[in-house]
Amino acid sequence: MTDTEPLLQVRNLETQFHTDEGIVRAVDGVSFDVYPGETVCIVGESGSGKTVTIESITRILQMPPGEIVGGEVIFDGIDLTTASEKEIRRIRGDRISHVFQNPQGSLNPVYTVGAQIREAIQANRDVGKKAAREQAIELLDEVGIPEAGARIDDYPHEFSGGMRQRVVIAIALAGEPDLLLADEPTTALDVTIEAQIIDLLLRLQEERDMAIVFVTHDLGVVAEIADRVVVMYASKVMEQGHVHEIFDRPAHPYTRALLDCLPGPDGVTPIEGTLPNPLDHPDGCRFAARCEYAIEPCFVGEHPSLLPADGDEDHLVSCLLYRDGHDESVIDREPRRADPFAVGDDT
Amino acid sequence: MNMKWYISRRVLWAVFATFIILTFTFGLLLISPNPEASAAAFSAATEGGDPEEARERVAEIRGEDRPWHEQYVDFMVSMFTLDWGNSFTYHEPVVDTILRAYPYSVALVVPPTIAAIIAGFAIGVYSSTHQYSLGDFLGTSFAFFGLSLPNFWFAIMLMMVFSVYLGWLPVRYDTSVEFWSLEHIRYLILPWFVIWTGAIASEMRYARAETLEYVNAAWTKTARAKGLDETTLTYRHIFRPALIPLITIVIGDLVGIIFATALVVEVIFTVPGLGLISYQALVRQDTPLVLVTIMIPVFIAIIGNLLQDVAYTMLDPRISYEERDA
């Protein structure tokens, strides 16, 4: 995988919000790569900056109050953070698409689903209304909506939540994107529908050979779909690596703690405390206050930078204990839970 | 079929509402003083006659000595046959007086109101999509300025500056001016401006408030992610959904513009429209005329509501035409 060029490179991305209380550093120096055709999962608690990271990539974030203040997002040789409105508009929907969390609100209630899919087709391709309509029916059919030809003239309120999310996915596919950014696309759905939507995304990924960045706080989903995982906490990347590394030998105490939140033979072990205030991040490691392994140096200076864990260039961790002079062996890295997720070699 | 059925139901309802309002008006008329009888009593008294007798005689002539339910049937029949009585001051059927006055009101109110809706919506949508920018600040300031300015004062000020000091425009309205002429515009431009500034502010504020809700809507994000340009996006996904509540507000607002702002403006600029007529009718206690000038806004409100219900069904697919009850 490292042999090919990355499709997307996020480098030291910094996104802030200007609020009445002060500046919120929602994304604070985040870096990761996405290779063609792979699935990268961004995991973390609510408020850790996952969504803002995703929405900074195509700059669909509301700006102002949001602002990208630093870093680069390289896609196809273009830095999207500095690209012109026109350039980025050409990429949106055509090369990079989004699927959002809330299928309830993602569709405009006053237009038929057909009109909204057609709009996505015609925004990127110079096709007539009729051809676009044909294409929209094909897309609806592809995302598994029965009797697509009849349903195309229905309004969003005539669809269930799961069906609406399928429509949103159809919209995202309209431009035949290379990269799909899915922001908790199944969080608002019930479990059976969630499984269907995930299956659909995986099937589409295979058929269309597109990369997916999947934002979630559900580690079960991560185990099922991810090739690689980026763990975020308090606007920073804590750890990233191959899904097997993350699940079987988590390096960062935060990742370890997250995995312990999953139900296991000893029940669940919640992480005590809450996320630090994003208006005023503490000195040192962002997780130190909640970390069971924290030592004095963890509370001073900057948040530790990402460095290889176990000397593996593909498995990065931002924890002082992995630096020279410290003993990372104090961290218990063996999985405690009986693995309820088949993280097989071929998922 | 559903749409037709729905509309006919709304029309029936409008008729029923009219019926109730007329009944209520009848009750009010029954207990209100009668200036004609008072005048007769007054002249009888000055001529040495019996004022009470004169009063009763007038009541007899007008049929007011009959039981109230007979009077009620009479009243309803005459209302529905558009026989609304004669004006005391104009000595002609009030319907004629109204028909003579309304073109002036229409000429006065319609152009600035349409201009205010268009400009107000445009500025309002700009403000909401550019929230907290300089343009938003200027637009909002302008809205508050227009809203805070008392119409009567602003009208008098404009008249003083442009008609009295500068002498560019006529001071008093002149009914002998050709209705469809450029000259007429010289008479109308100041009143238009007053109505426009009064109305644009509220239209702008409503448009800003309503569209602001959709600037951050999830579907706006979906639309942006499709690669739509901002103009299309603003029109289709921010303005269009906001049009539904805006229509309600605007129709309610129009009644206010016509019968509050326009009344004041007509009185000040002496435009002989409905406003001036109803104002004079009130001052002169011309009861039949007052009645009509009160009934007209009521009918407009009923018709307005009807149009609004119909517009809703066309704009919002979620509203069904089907039976809501039973």
C-alpha atoms less than 13 angstroms from C-alpha of A175 in its C-beta half-sphere: 26
Three-class secondary structure of residue A252 per DSSP: coil
- Which residues of chain B does A171 touch, with a Cβ-Cβ cutoff of 8 Å? 222, 226
Phi first, then psi, for residue A32 (nearest 5°) are -165, 160
User: What letter does residue A218 receive in the DSSP assignment?
Assistant: -
- Return d(Cα A73, Cα A52) in angstroms, integer: 13
Say how far apart CA A211 and CA A93 lie, in whole Å. Answer: 14
Q: Which helix (H) or strand (E) holds A29?
A: strand A22-34
Q: Residue B307 in contact with residue B250, Cβ under 8 Å? A: no
DSSP A37-104: T-EEEEE--TTSSHHHHHHHHTT-S-TTTEEEEEEEEEETTEETTTS-HHHHHHHBTTTEEEE-S-TT
Q: What angle do CA A39, A44, A48 make, to 5 degrees?
A: 120
Contact flag B225-A93 (C-beta cutoff 8 Å):
yes
Predicted confidence at residue A215, as pLDDT, reads 93
Point out the residue among B226, B236, B317 whose CB comes nearest to the CB of A93: B226
Inter-chain contact B316–A175, Cβ cutoff 8 Å?
no
How far apart are alpha carbons A258 and A217 in whole angstroms?
10
Facing A106 at nearest CB: one of B218, B236, B315: B218
- Positive/negative CA dihedral, A244, A250, A255, A259: positive
Give the residue on A whose Cα is nearest the Cα of B229: A89
Instruction: Assess whether the previous peptide bond of A64 is cis (omega < 30° from 0).
Output: yes
Do the Cβ atoms of B97 and B280 come closer than 8 Å? no
Residue A45 neighbours by CB distance under 10 Å: 17
Give the residue from chain A lying closest to B215, CA to CA.
A62
Note down pLDDT in tens along chain B; length 326 residues: 567 787 788 888 888 888 888 888 888 777 776 767 777 787 888 887 777 888 787 777 766 777 888 888 888 888 778 777 777 778 888 888 888 888 888 888 889 888 988 999 999 999 988 888 898 899 888 888 888 888 889 989 998 899 889 888 887 887 777 778 888 888 888 989 988 888 888 888 889 988 988 888 889 989 998 888 888 889 999 998 888 888 877 877 776 676 677 888 888 888 888 888 888 887 877 777 888 877 777 777 788 778 877 777 777 777 666 554 43
**β-strands A66-75, A312-317 pairing:** unpaired
CB contact (8 A) between residue B224 and residue A60? yes
Nearest to B241 among A98, A110, A157 (CB): A110
**Other CB atoms within 10 Å distance of the CB of residue A220:** 14
Contact A32, A26 (CB under 8 A): no
For residue A155, the chain B residues in CB contact (below 8 A) are: 317-318
Per-residue burial over B67-76, b = 16 or more CB atoms within 10 Å of its CB, e = otherwise:
eeeebbeebe
- Nearest chain B residue to A169 by CA distance is B222
Contact (Cβ atoms closer than 8 angstroms) between residue A41 and residue A226: yes
In this prediction, residues A12-23 reach a mean pLDDT of 88
Distance of alpha carbon A179 from alpha carbon A75, whole angstroms = 10
pLDDT at A230: 94
Alpha-carbon span B260 to B109, nearest angstrom:
11
Pairing of strands A211-216, A179-183: parallel
Pick from B132, B219, B230, B313 the residue to mutate for testing the A interface (most A CBs within 10 Å): B219
pLDDT for A228 beyond 90:
yes
B244 in contact with A, Cβ within 8 Å: yes
Which of A51, A119, A176 would best serve as a mutation to test chain B binding (most B beta carbons within 10 A)? A119
Q: What is the pLDDT of residues B154-186, one digit of tens each?
A: 989 998 899 889 888 887 887 777 778 888 888
H-state helical runs in chain A: 50-57, 85-91, 113-124, 129-142, 148-151, 161-173, 191-208, 219-225, 243-248, 253-260
Give the Cα-Cα-Cα angle B3, B4, B6 (nearest 5 degrees).
Answer: 65
DSSP 8-state code for residue A299 = G
DSSP bridge partners of A92: A96
Band (A212; pLDDT cuts 50, 70, 90): very high
Asked if B238 contacts A62 with a C-beta cutoff of 8 angstroms, the reply is no
Q: Which of B24, B32, B96, B21 is nearest to B64 (CA)?
A: B32
In sequence order, what are the residues at sequence separation of 6 or more whose Cβ sits closer than 8 angstroms to the Cβ of residue A134?
Answer: none
For residue B295, how many other CB atoms are within 10 A of its CB?
18
Residue A98 confidence class, pLDDT cut points 50, 70, 90: very high
Q: What is the DSSP letter of A321?
A: G
Interchain proximity A106–B222, CB inside 8 Å:
yes
CB contact under 8 A, B225 and A97: yes
Neighbours of B47 (CB within 10 A): 9
* Alpha carbon separation from B255 to A311, B108, B205, B294 (Å, rounded): 77, 14, 18, 12
pLDDT above 90 (res A271): no
Single-letter residue type at A187? T
Question: Which distant-in-sequence residues (6+ apart) come within 8 Å of B183 by Cβ?
Answer: B177
Selection from B217, B246, B253 nearest residue B312 by Cα: B246
If phi > 0 it is left, if psi is from -120 to 50 it is alpha, else beta; for residue A45 that is beta
- Closest alpha carbon within chain A to B239: A110
Those of residues 156-215 in B touching chain A at CB distance below 8 A are 215
- Checking if the pLDDT of A328 tops 80, the result is no
Rounded-to-integer distance, Cα A28 and Cα A279, Å: 12
A105: chain B residues, CB-CB within 8 Å: 217-219
What percentage of chain A exceeds 90 in pLDDT? Answer: 28
Interval B117-150: pLDDT, tens: 899 999 999 998 888 889 889 988 888 888 888 8
Q: Taking CB atoms and an 8 Å cutoff, what residues of chain B touch A98? A: 221-222, 225
A156 touches B241 (CB < 8 A): no
Q: What is the ipTM of this complex?
A: 0.84
- Domain segments of chain A as ranges: 107-176, 244-344
Helices A191-208 and A161-173, packing angle to 10 deg: 20
Instruction: Kindly tell me the sign of the dihedral angle through the C-alpha atoms of A216, A219, A221, A224.
Output: positive
Give CA–CA dist A216/A201, Å, rounded. Answer: 14
Q: Does B242 touch chain A (CB under 8 A)?
A: no
Using the Cβ of B216 and the Cβ atoms of chain A, whether some distance falls under 8 Å is answered with yes
Interface with A, mutate which of B132, B222, B229, B315 (most A CBs under 10 A)? B222
What is chain A's mean pLDDT, rounded? 86
CB pairs under 8 A between A and B: 84
Q: Which of A145-149, A272-276, B113-117 has the lowest mean pLDDT?
A: A272-276
The answer, for B320 touching chain A at a CB cutoff of 8 Å, is no
Q: Which residue of A has its CA nearest to B315?
A: A110
For A155, the token pair is 């309004």
Give the pLDDT of residue B326: 38
The minimum CA-CA distance between A110 and chain B, rounded to whole Å, is: 6
What tokens were used for A55? 């929405």
Closest residue in B to A170 (Cα–Cα): B226
pLDDT at B325: 45
Q: Which of A62, A119, A155 sits opposite B318 (nearest CB)?
A: A155
Residue of B nearest to A105 (CA): B218
Residue A182: φ, ψ to 5°? -110, 115
